[in-house]
Structures are given as structure tokens and as C-alpha cells.
Amino acid sequence: MRETPISTCEKGFLLEALWEGKRIDGRSTLETRDLDIVYGLDWGSVQVTLGKTRVLAQASCQVVEPTFTRPNEGILIINVELTSLAAPRFEGMRNSDDGVELGRLLERTLKESRCVDLESLCIVAEEKVWEVRLDIHVLNHEGNMFDAASIAGLCSLCHFRRPDVTLKGDVVTIHPLSDRDPVPLGIQHHPVTTTYGLFEYPGGETLFVIDPSRIEEEAILGKMVLGVNGYREMCTLHLAGQVVVDKTLILRLANITAEKSKKMVDTIKESLRKDEASRQSKGPRGFAAKIRSDSLLHASVPRSNFDFTRVVPLARSVVNSVKVPDTSKTASAKSEDGVVHVASEDMEQDKDNDSGDSDGSDMDSEPDVQVTGVMTKKQILESKVTEKIDLVDSDSEEEETVILDKV
Amino acid sequence: MDIDETNSSLRPMFCELGGITRADGSSIFSCGDTTVACAVYGPGEVRPNRESINKSSIEVAYRSRNGNSGLQDRKRELFLEKTCESGILAALHPRTAITINIQEMHDDGGLLSACVNSAFLSLLDACVSLRFLVAAVTCAVDNEGNLHLDPSKKEMKRASATLVFVFESRSHSIISSHTEGLVNQLKYQQCCAMAKSAAAKTLQFYRVVMNKKFSKDS
């Protein structure tokens, strides 16, 4: 579904406000929106809300054969699905530009930076390794999907637990969750991306804003995404758009990102600790419970109990009162050629004038069709025969002739 | 054949309307721990191959939490599409499409019924004209013959049959039903009767949700 593009006056207003240092939603140029991380009940399930942008991430694993080029390492697959849940223009086409950009960015940040220790995912070299699959679903796109998705992906990988594996000689035992506690993945560092929307002053200088909202994203000339981990190491650098960027800007943004990333990683670690604490204390967990306690806009009803003592007799009476369909009305007429026609009493063997079809069809509903004659099926087939060839006494040159009976 | 005390209850339900701001209508619905997010767009632009001159085309897209979409997802989409088609007054909007997108957030049993309820709550939020409201309920029959209303995932795994009933609000008759496993007529009628009471409660919940939407408190 097409979206309404941003109007010229909206864009003009946004730019003029920015030139004066004001953003439409009242934030400063270096202020990000509120971040909220909610973990689900399953390991590796997390929903991240950045302002109004919502992203759901889910990690899962299975045992596979390793790739030929890297037989000692596990596999990490990052799958991004942009559906029209997020925004009307994403119509389930996997290869939309935004989806590819997001997928590639996450791969560079989480996979190519080697933040997950893939060697620890090896079970038997060249035979069995763990394949960890990270599914990112964008639920609502209100600007800056990249940051929300990268935080969600990282939280999901940090939260995820895989089943424990023991190796005794040649026998590999994968313990089910009821047997042994699952084991977390080895996360070596925590890369987080920060997105900057780039605009231009009338004089040509570049202006940047952190964490652009949806309307700002529609007006930006360029976008820079920097991924920095908790140790101030840069993992990702991505520039898109039509803006001229000089190296001083990149260095400046890198420094800002390093500060922001440190705080973000601390927030993520804190949220993991809180989730662990609520698991231990068996407090309310999961999306339903968390949103129920936090959201102002929700409506809820408590558990409803029913009294079903009358259900059994009621059901019995319904079953007994249902009329069994009457099969006695069907009449089967055996015709001369041995073919049995089963037709109910209501049906008549009428000849349809146009098609010559002899299926019993009730002609009462069509008063404009006149019944001119009644023929049985055999008669109709006989009338279609144009030439009778006698096979038995013919001068066929075949030694043996077999006549198949009419089936 | 008895109905266990603890299994004759409908888990607490909760719904947040408008959580997905991009959509015309959206709901995040949870029944117990089963949580489903749904967004409705429409009536809006339709692709030419799905355009219909006398009614709106109802399109459902369902996504599960992990893995590539498979046959189970397509089955759910078809069920939802047929159920929604019966309830939406599609003839009011010819040559358009109403898109219903569903994302599973957590499955603790009764996922299909949660999807149906969530879809209709989103349609209400989007102010799409409906013929009636629907409420979907799941029942499970276990190996001993006990009936469980609104089963959890564990109960559904152990069940010999699970039944989903969708009732409409005007005459409380069934518009859709989905059964997996074998069940005899008597059990089916029992489940149906149980589900009918539960559906009535669910429809009351819709009222609560809509009251909250239009109240001045939020």
C-alpha cells in the first residue's frame, strides 16, 4: 500500500526549525527517545521500544552440519522480516530496500564483528554445530528501525540459552531443558548502533540529529549509522544518502556514539540482570504481564470461571435431537447394461436439450426448458454411435483378438 | 467424561489498542500468556491481481516468532481470512483491500483463537464496518476424556484433540470451527457448549476494551 509522502510545507517547516536548533518533537539534537526493553517468557525473546518504534527479536537454535569453509565454528543466521505490520509500504516483499539495508547492517554489526563466540558453538568438528537463528520482526516503524533492531538483536542474543551438550567419547547427548539448565551463548563484546540523520544548512554545512523520528527520516538527505561496542571499539560504519561528509564530522560522531554506546550497553546489562532477578523471584514475567502492569492504555479482565455442570446433559440432548439424514429415500435402479444409477426419488432422468447429458437433474426450477423426451443413459450412448464395427467376424489380420468388456 | 474444576475457566485477557501507531487500527491482545500483535490497514490500495469490483479484498498475513513461514502459517492465514471475510462488510468498499497483519509474540496455547480475537479488536480500532463481532475460544480433550477450556500449551500438547470455535455476536451461532484430532459427537457438543459461554464472556471483554478506548481517563 502506498504511503502519503511528506508535503513540501511540512518538510520546509521541519528544516527551518532544525536550522534554529529545534526539533519537531522537542528533543535536542543529541537526545534519543526513551528506550524500553521487555523480555518474554522464552529464552531469547525480547521486545524493544524506542519511542514508538517497536521491534521484536527471537533467537532459536538447532544442530546442523557446519559450513565447509569453517568446520569448527557454529553458524549465526540473522533474518529480518519487514512486513506491512511495520509500515504499509512493506508488502511482504523480502527484497525491499529497507529490509536489505537493515539485514546487512545487522549482519555487519552482530555477525562480522564476531560478538558471538562461534567456536564455542561447535559440538563435533566437521559434523555437528549449533546454528543460532535470530529473527527480527519490526512491529511498528516510527523512525530509526536500525537502532531498535540492533538493540533487540543484541538483547536477544545475550538473553538466549541453548541446551547443554555433553560429549562422552563418540556419543553426543543434548540434554533437554527439563534435564539440565540451558547454557548462555558466549558474547564477547556488545556492539550497539546509533543512527544520525544528516541535513544541510543553507550555507552547505552538515547538520546532524541523533535518532531521527519517522517524519525526520522522510526529510533527511543522508543517514550515518555508527556501531560502537562497550569498549569504545568501532564495529560498523554505514553512510547512505546524498550528503557530503567530511572526516571531522565522522570523528565527532564517533566520539558521541562511543559515549552513548557505553550507556546503552550498561542499560542492556541492567535489564538482563533485572530479568534474571524476576526469574529467580518468580515475579511477573513475559510480554503480557509486563505490558499489563506498565501500559496506561490497556483494558483487562481477570480470569473468568464457569459452571459447566449442566453441559453434559445439555450436550446429550443436542446429540439426540439432531435428525439423522434419511437414507431410505434413495432408489437404486439397475439398468440393463449392469451400471447402477443411484438417484433419489426426486430426481428424474430428464434429457437436457442442449448437452445431451443424462445426469439426473431436477428440471422443475427452470420452467423455460421443455422436456421433449425421456431417454435412458444407454439409449443416449447408442444414439451417439456413428458406425458399428464388428470385431468378432472381421477379417482382421491379428492372430489373437481380445475384446474388453465394457467397464 | 467429567469436566475438571480448574479447567473450566478462561484465562485473564488483556488488550492494548493503538499500540502500533502506523496502522489504521491495531491491537496487542493476550489471553493468559499467549500474546498476539495485530495491525489492520484499510480499506486502501489493492494490487491489481487481487482487485474485486464488488467488494474489498481481505488479505491476511501471519508471521510466527521464529523460523521461516511454512504450511502451518498459511493454514492459519486461510482460516483467519475466511472468518474475517464473513464478518466484514466488504461490499461497502469495492476495489480496495483490507490488510490484516498478525505477529505471534508468545504462544502458550490457544494461539488461533487469540489471533481471531486480536484481528477483530484491530478491525474495531480501525473502525472498519463489521456485520457482527466474533469471539474465538479453544477447547482441548485429553486422553482421559477430560475437557479443558482455554488450554495452555502443555495441555494442548497432551491433548488428543483440540477444537477452536468462533461464535458471532448477534445470534451466538458458530461461524468457524477448526478441529485437530478425533472427537465424538457428544464431546464436540460439550466443547461447543463450553465454548459458547466463554465466547459470551469474551464479547463482554470487547465492550470493556471499547469503553476504555473512548473514556476520558486515558
Which ipTM did the prediction report? 0.89
**Where is A357: in which H helix or E strand?**
none
Q: What is the pLDDT of residue A348?
A: 43
Partner-chain residue, chosen from A295, A304, A319, that has the shortest CB–CB distance to B10: A304
* Mean pLDDT, all residues of chain A: 82
Output the nine-digit C-alpha cell for A6.
511528506
B176 min Cα distance to partner chain A (Å): 19
Least confident of A13-17, A209-213, A360-364, B154-158: A360-364
CB pairs under 8 A between A and B: 179
Chain A residue numbers with beta carbons less than 8 Å from the beta carbon of B27 are none
| Record: contact B189-A318, CB cut-off 8 A | yes
Of A233, A243, A237, nearest in space to A208 by CA: A243
The CB density around residue A160, as the number of other CB atoms within 10 Å, is 25
The model's confidence at residue A371, banded by pLDDT at 50, 70 and 90, is low
The model's confidence at residue A289, banded by pLDDT at 50, 70 and 90, is confident
Backbone angles phi, psi at B173, to 5 degrees: -105, 165
Whether residue A356 has pLDDT greater than 50: no
Chain B residue numbers with beta carbons less than 8 Å from the beta carbon of A53 are none
Partner-chain residue, chosen from A52, A81, A139, that has the shortest CB–CB distance to B37: A139
Q: What is the pLDDT of residues A231-274, one digit of tens each?
A: 999 999 999 998 888 899 999 999 999 999 999 999 999 999 99
Least confident of A5-19, A94-108, A303-317, B111-125: A303-317
Distance between CA atoms of residues B83 and B101, nearest Å: 14
| Record: contact A306-B99, CB cut-off 8 A | no
Output the nine-digit C-alpha cell for A159.
538473553
* HEC secondary structure over chain B: CCCCHHHCEECCEEEEECCCCCCCEEEEEEECCEEEEEEEEEEECCCHHHCCCCCCEEEEEEECCCCCCCHHHHHHHHHHHHHHHHHECHHHCCCCEEEEEEEEEECCCCHHHHHHHHHHHHHHHCCCCECCCEEEEEEEEECCCCEEECCCHHHHHHEEEEEEEEEECCCCCEEEEEEEECCCHHHHHHHHHHHHHHHHHHHHHHHHHHHHHHCCCC
Tell me the percentage of chain B whose pLDDT exceeds 90.
62
Q: What is the pLDDT of residue B217?
A: 62
Burial of A92 (0-12, 13-18, 19+ CB in 10 A): middle
Partner-chain residue, chosen from A291, A306, A318, that has the shortest CB–CB distance to B197: A306
Whether residue A337 has pLDDT greater than 80: no
Chain B residue numbers with beta carbons less than 8 Å from the beta carbon of A54 are 19-20
Q: What is the pLDDT of residues B155-185, one digit of tens each?
A: 899 999 999 999 999 999 999 999 999 988 8
State pTM to two decimals: 0.81
